[in-house]
Amino acid sequence: MSEDSLDQILKSAEHKMSTAIDFLGRDLQSVRTGRASPTLLDRIQVDYYGSPTPINGVANISTPDARMRPAP
């Protein structure tokens, strides 16, 4: 293998790794510890009349206030 092809492979691998890190960072931003958040479902898609549609486009999603107590 030539030096140029090794450099090209290295650059390609670095680009793919940095892209993977960016995706992971965006995924981790949506996770909130300690409380539920409707934004956790933003990327979920459902089949709606034959086409994939974000779940928040076909349903209202909410979380109860943290201070609310469950009914006995």
- Residue with the bigger pLDDT between 28 and 72: it is 28
* Rg (alpha carbons) of the chain, rounded to whole number: 21
Q: Is 71's pLDDT higher than 70?
A: no
Residue 9 has pLDDT above 80, yes or no: yes
Half-sphere exposure of 13 (CA within 13 A, CB side): 6
In the prediction, which pLDDT does 19 show?
95
- Bridge partner list, 45: 54
- Given this model, what pLDDT does residue 72 score? 63
Q: Domain locations in the chain?
A: 1-30, 34-63
User: CB-based contacts of 59: which residues, under 8 Å, 6+ apart?
Assistant: none
The per-residue pLDDT for range 42-62, each reduced to its tens digit, is 888 999 999 999 998 898 888
Q: pLDDT for 15-36, tens place per residue? A: 999 999 998 988 787 676 666 7
